[in-house]
Amino acid sequence: MTSKRLPSGGSVDRAKTIRFSFDGRSLTGHPGDTLASALLANGVRLVGRSFKYHRPRGIMTAGPEEPNALVELRDGARREPNSKATEIELHDGLVSASQNRWPSLSFDLMAVNGLAGSVFSAGFYYKTFMWPKSFWEKLYEPLIRRAAGLGRAASEPDPDHYEAMHAHCDVLVVGSGAAGLAAARSAGEAGARVIVCERDFLLGGGLLLLSPADEAWRKEMLASLEGLPNVEILTRTNVFGYYDHNLLGAVERVADHKVQPDPHEVRQRYRTFRAKQVVLATGASERLIALPGNDRPGTMMAGAALTYLRRFGVAPGRNAVVFTNNDSAYETALALAEARTGKVTLVDVRAQSSLADALTARGINVRLGCEVTSFDGKTAMIRRRGGAGGEKIVADLLSLSGGWNPNVQLASQSGAKPRWDATLASHVPGDPVQAERSAGAANGSFGIGAAAQEGAKAGRDAAAAAGFEKASEFALPQPGRAEQPIAPFWEVEGPGKSFVDLQHDVTAADIRLAHREGFSHVEHAKRYTTHGMATDQGKLGSLVGSAILAEARGETVDAVGVPTHRPYTMPVAFGALAGHASGAHFQPVRRTALHDWHLRNGAAMQPTGAWMRPFFYPKPGETGWDPIFREARAVRSSVGICDVSTLGKIDVQGPDAATFLDRLYINTFSTLAVGKCRYGVMLREDGIVFDDGTTSRLAEDHFLVTTTTGNAAPVLEHMEFHAQTVWPELDVQFCSVTDQWAQIAVAGPKSRETLAAAVEGLDLANEAFPFMSAGEGKISGVPVRLFRISFSGELAYEIAVPSGRAETVWEAILAAGKRFGIVPYGLEAMSLMRIEKGHAAGPELNGQTTAADLGMGRMMKKSGDVIGRVLAGRPGLADPGRPRLVGIRPVDTSKRLRGGAHIVREPSSGTSMGWVSSVTQSIEHNCWIGLALVENGESVKGQRLVAISPLHDESVEVTITSPHHVDPENARVRA
């Protein structure tokens, strides 16, 4: 295969060689190449098969609009499908493979789809694979997926790292062509904080294609920008979306040009920009002309051919036909002629051109008023416009230019409705809705001189709008001569497939079919044909499709319009959006002050919400429930110690603190004596139970509220809301002290004796410190708060200690309890004991239950308003038949119970009376026990019902009991 690399020219370093592979073949390129330019330089003409018809395809473009050259990049865990070869910076060791071909690229069995092309028309899948329904999953979908695959994703976890980064600036400039560089410099020299984002790895955009004078200006601009500390330039950074409040999103491809990132380097960085002003200098994209065979390998956009010649020093073909309706492709013809690789023919649909003579003088065959009627990869047929017959021209390159579309995507996303410009036969950005302006080709101002001038003004205006008015002067390139107007031209009709969307294989005929079948709105036609829905988002042919639709509808292109532009302007990897927040970094982790102790002492730690908590402390040889039973038995028979620091704690102070709590809780706190605790229940506004916990009165105007672990933040928010908006007259101050105090539960009949040996300064005798008392003392010299409260149902205390001293106090209690065989117990033993005791917890406080449902209806105070009182009185919530908290035990004590089982009268009954909310194996009863919510719970107590779990195919006869499986008289806690 002969090299297509030209002997000189372009921004590639011919002195250095890069080795890479494509479909297993070892090839070489140079620094400065893209994968696409290197493939072309190596004479690779065929790079992929099309999506639907499996037609052979070659490289069509030199940018993100590429529809054909989609490759799988890298291998193993780093394999990435659907990468555009035109956007991949060539690097040593790059491994790439064509995709969507089976069994091989040059011989594709699926190409038979192309022969049956008339069958696979628009809407084919909708119409065909309708019946029978079960065939969809089993037969059709796997077949279609095989036929229409777009590469294979990696099946292993991504070994690379990603991160997010957030920036603010006065002026964000998107694009670094003549307009972008001029905008950045004028804004930067005015003193504004400027960020420039360039998608490419080289700065300069269209400046990279032109004359030495332009190159000198580009270098001068870059040098001056580098000298401005307030200007930051980001290359390889594509801005993908423009959102409200001038927020823009981008992905920086930090290490995609390496086989793998350097140590500590991310592969991609997700960036957000909050810009006071935005300058969109995103350039323009060339559009194709629909004609039979306009997808054959060898078809290439004229601007892309110019890019390969001028920037990469690669000849895209030998004998070329350039087909155009505007002046821009003349430059391509000249560049092709300069490369001297073969004959160049320029076919212009316009009858006249002022440039024709200059081209003819360079030996180019100029055919005015003509059109190309077909291309097969080897020859192009041309004829006089609308005439008959034709002339065959040998050409391996058909270069197309149907005109240029300003890249209005970001402006359009920002809310500016694109405006039709008849002289350009394209859309330009509409009036700004947000603080943005477009400049250069993106604004329909073509040519380096015009773009630079407009860019400089846009930068100056943006900086001034952001408050930076300092003027600056710098030289700009001369404006070019006036161009001859474009002749709007969309399609050459003829036999064969004329593509408007190459990536999704949508033809001009499909667009007409959509119209005939009633999908005439451009958004409907888009979805019916999938035109413009591929990863190139219709950049090449969206407008051409609209023009064909317009003709079918008998309207103007302007009236038909193009589909709405939405993010993303280019495909974005999920990894980049997730950033650092994946795996162990997915959500915050909270550790109690005793976390380290738990780890050192062999706790089995588990996440519960954000918290890491010890579930149990297994000893060697223990399996299954063993450690849980051992820990719970120790508490019930002697003493145990548990880290309960995760409970929410809120310090409430102020002259109106008691009033505030009276309004939040269904029971009363103003009557609570100093030094006492009380259990309280809080409702939501709608009357459903919100949270529960004990509240202690530390002083006349000082309370300590505890919440459940999960509701700590919501309860604080609930308080803030009511204090700020509902009762602003109350003098009350509160803040979270959850992290200030570590909390340690000491429970069991020996807990008093244990603590008596550890605590100084507080008499723990039953009379002096009865159940529901709060007091202060010292343990190991550390000031602590003590509360005589119990969750296990045993005699128990909780000790609050400043969290930095938690280990000292914990160890002191362990030492004091040693003679009673004190054991640390985890969440599982705690849960076992609370179910035995019949305390409601998360599964019962489930956002559906009322205080009465949980047997706490009598706690509601007789008078005074309280959050939730009114709506708790609604008939549905006051209905005595509602499911009520009860206990259940299996009649056959060998049977296990299941959480989530339904309670029914008979196994065959189709009517559920309620559900099982919590289950455990009981150490007091030596069988499974549970809590359930059962309709008319009070009246079915003592009855035998059935707990049925269809999920497990189990049905267990149960006795309905009081929820208090242990010590229903509550004597132990008062002992």
Partner 1 sequence: MSALDRRSRFPVSRSLSGGRNGGDALTITEQHAALVQVTARKGRQNDVSATLSRTFSIELPASDRVASGSTGTAIWVQPGSWLIRASDDQREELAARLRQALDGSAAVVDQSHGRSVFELSGKHAQSVLARLCRLDLHDRVFPPGSSASTIVGHVSCQLYRNEAPVPFFSLIVGSTFAEWLLDELQGAAASHGWSFQPAQNAAA
8 Å CB contact between 389 and 308 = no
8 Å CB contact between 534 and 549 = no
- Would you count residue 99 as binding partner 1 (CB under 8 A)? no
Nearer to partner 1, 184 or 650 (CB): 650
- Would you count residue 731 as binding partner 1 (CB under 8 A)? yes
Could you tell me whether strands 796-802 and 782-787 are parallel, antiparallel, or unpaired per DSSP bridges? antiparallel
Instruction: For the segment 257-296, give every residue that binds partner 1 (CB under 8 A).
Output: 262-266, 272, 274
From candidates 521, 524, 805, 895, binder to partner 1 by CB under 8 A: 805
Cβ at position 592, least distance to partner 1 in Å: 6
From candidates 75, 469, 523, 811, binder to partner 1 by CB under 8 A: 811
Cβ at position 834, least distance to partner 1 in Å: 23
How many C-beta atoms lie closer than 10 Å to residue 274's C-beta? 13
Angle at 606 between CA 603 and CA 612, to 5 degrees: 90
Helix (H) or strand (E) holding 103, with range, is none
- Give φ, ψ of 466 to 5 degrees: -90, 0
Nearer to partner 1, 278 or 919 (CB): 278
Total residues contacting partner 1 by CB under 8 A comes to 52
- Would you count residue 164 as binding partner 1 (CB under 8 A)? yes
Instruction: For the segment 595-624, give every residue that binds partner 1 (CB under 8 A).
Output: 595-596, 599-600, 611
Could you tell me whether strands 648-653 and 702-707 are parallel, antiparallel, or unpaired per DSSP bridges? antiparallel
Could you tell me whether strands 344-348 and 365-368 are parallel, antiparallel, or unpaired per DSSP bridges? parallel
DSSP annotation of 428: E
Cβ at position 735, least distance to partner 1 in Å: 6
Cβ at position 653, least distance to partner 1 in Å: 4
- Would you count residue 740 as binding partner 1 (CB under 8 A)? yes
Rg of the Cα atoms in the chain: 38
CA dist list (Å): 767 to 764, 797, 974: 8, 15, 10
Cβ at position 501, least distance to partner 1 in Å: 38
Contacts (Cβ under 8 Å, ≥6 apart) of 186: 455, 456, 457, 459, 460, 463, 472, 474
The four Cα atoms 804, 810, 816, 817 give a dihedral, to 10 degrees, of 170
Nearer to partner 1, 127 or 818 (CB): 818
In the block, tokens 């380290």 appear at 596
Nearest-angstrom CA–CA distance, 350 and 426: 18
Instruction: For the segment 364-403, give every residue that binds partner 1 (CB under 8 A).
Output: none
From candidates 21, 520, 733, 955, binder to partner 1 by CB under 8 A: 733
CA dist list (Å): 630 to 752, 844, 893: 21, 26, 21
Nearer to partner 1, 123 or 654 (CB): 654
- Would you count residue 735 as binding partner 1 (CB under 8 A)? yes
Say how many residues make up the chain: 975
Nearer to partner 1, 254 or 382 (CB): 254
Instruction: For the segment 638-657, give every residue that binds partner 1 (CB under 8 A).
Output: 645, 651, 653-655
From candidates 318, 343, 591, 895, binder to partner 1 by CB under 8 A: 591
Nearer to partner 1, 127 or 470 (CB): 470
Residues pairing with 485 in the sheet: none
- Give φ, ψ of 305 to 5 degrees: -60, -40
8 Å CB contact between 493 and 294 = no
Choices 165-173, 377-385, 483-491, 874-882 (CB under 8 A): range interacting with partner 1: 165-173
Cβ at position 706, least distance to partner 1 in Å: 15
Choices 339-347, 565-573, 583-591, 619-627 (CB under 8 A): range interacting with partner 1: 583-591
How many C-beta atoms lie closer than 10 Å to residue 125's C-beta? 15
Helix (H) or strand (E) holding 611, with range, is strand 611-616
From candidates 98, 186, 353, 803, binder to partner 1 by CB under 8 A: 803
Nearest-angstrom CA–CA distance, 234 and 243: 20
In the block, tokens 């039973």 appear at 629
From candidates 468, 690, 741, 825, binder to partner 1 by CB under 8 A: 741
Nearer to partner 1, 66 or 651 (CB): 651
- Give φ, ψ of 721 to 5 degrees: -60, -50
Nearer to partner 1, 192 or 904 (CB): 192
Residues pairing with 744 in the sheet: 643, 799
In the block, tokens 């150490």 appear at 923
Residues pairing with 741 in the sheet: 802
Choices 396-404, 732-740, 756-764, 829-837 (CB under 8 A): range interacting with partner 1: 732-740
Choices 112-120, 161-169, 383-391, 510-518 (CB under 8 A): range interacting with partner 1: 161-169
Choices 543-551, 734-742, 764-772, 833-841 (CB under 8 A): range interacting with partner 1: 734-742
Cβ at position 95, least distance to partner 1 in Å: 25
- Give φ, ψ of 695 to 5 degrees: -120, 135
Choices 389-397, 416-424, 546-554, 579-587 (CB under 8 A): range interacting with partner 1: 579-587
654-673 footprint of partner 1 as x/- string (CB under 8 A): xx------------------
Nearer to partner 1, 163 or 220 (CB): 163
- Would you count residue 567 as binding partner 1 (CB under 8 A)? no
Nearer to partner 1, 807 or 935 (CB): 807
- Would you count residue 808 as binding partner 1 (CB under 8 A)? yes
- Would you count residue 807 as binding partner 1 (CB under 8 A)? yes
Cis status of the peptide bond prior to 568, with omega within 30 of 0:
yes
Nearer to partner 1, 133 or 600 (CB): 600
671-710 footprint of partner 1 as x/- string (CB under 8 A): ----------------------------------------
Contacts (Cβ under 8 Å, ≥6 apart) of 216: none
Contacts (Cβ under 8 Å, ≥6 apart) of 430: 411, 412, 416, 417, 418, 419
Cis status of the peptide bond prior to 103, with omega within 30 of 0:
yes
Nearer to partner 1, 493 or 731 (CB): 731
User: By C-alpha distance, which of 828, 449, 344 is closest to 625?
Assistant: 828
Instruction: For the segment 168-197, give every residue that binds partner 1 (CB under 8 A).
Output: 168, 193
From candidates 605, 737, 757, 859, binder to partner 1 by CB under 8 A: 737
- Would you count residue 224 as binding partner 1 (CB under 8 A)? no
The four Cα atoms 198, 204, 207, 212 give a dihedral, to 10 degrees, of -170
- Would you count residue 738 as binding partner 1 (CB under 8 A)? yes
From candidates 226, 717, 739, 865, binder to partner 1 by CB under 8 A: 739
- Would you count residue 589 as binding partner 1 (CB under 8 A)? yes
Nearer to partner 1, 150 or 228 (CB): 228
Nearest-angstrom CA–CA distance, 535 and 503: 8
8 Å CB contact between 638 and 850 = no
First to last CA, the chain: 95
From candidates 157, 588, 624, 881, binder to partner 1 by CB under 8 A: 588
Choices 99-107, 162-170, 402-410, 929-937 (CB under 8 A): range interacting with partner 1: 162-170
- Would you count residue 585 as binding partner 1 (CB under 8 A)? yes
Q: How far is CA 693 from the centre of its chain?
A: 38
Positions that interact with partner 1 (CB under 8 A): 163-168, 193, 262-266, 272, 274, 580-581, 585, 587-593, 595-596, 599-600, 611, 645, 651, 653-655, 730-731, 733-741, 802-805, 807-808, 811
